Amino acid sequence: MTNCQNGNCSVNRDLRHNTEYFDMPVNTYSAGMRARLAFGACLAIDFDVYLIDEVTEIGDERFRRRCATAFRERLRRSDIILATHNSQTIRQYCDRAAILAGGRLELFDDVASAFERYRRMLAGQSA
């Protein structure tokens, strides 16, 4: 994904498939293309923890598969804080969870417990 030597990094073009846009000004990019660029730039830097907000949901299926592959590789050496409403994405990437509701953060040691609590919360709101 990246090639860094002496603090100088060049980003590999693996996550893009619209090659004609790579060298164009960013202000000519669509919102989706800017989100893809941001995701690629995020992965170009090795962080201990990544804060991800629904970005794994962008782009077409081909791009999402390539992102998932790159993301899984990065997760071998980093942690993530993932904000999403997609339960499949949570199950795919997370082994612990938290629910933020009413200004209160509740932590769970496993995803299944968090989903159960969330379902109970929703059931209580509809009653």
What pTM was estimated for this model as a whole?
0.64
Nearest C-alpha neighbor of 33 from the set 19, 47, 46: 19
Contact between 22 and 16 under an 8 Å Cβ cutoff? The reply is yes
Q: Do 49 and 106 have their domain in common?
A: no
Number of domains into which the chain is organized: 2
Q: Tell me how many helices (H) and strands (E) the chain has.
A: 4, 6
Q: Do 76 and 104 have their domain in common?
A: no
25-76 confidence digits (pLDDT tens): 888 888 778 877 877 787 788 889 988 876 656 667 887 787 778 878 888 8
Length of the chain, in residues: 127
State which residues form the domain around 103: 95-127
Q: Do 68 and 123 have their domain in common?
A: no
- Rounded CA-CA distance 54/89 in Å is 9
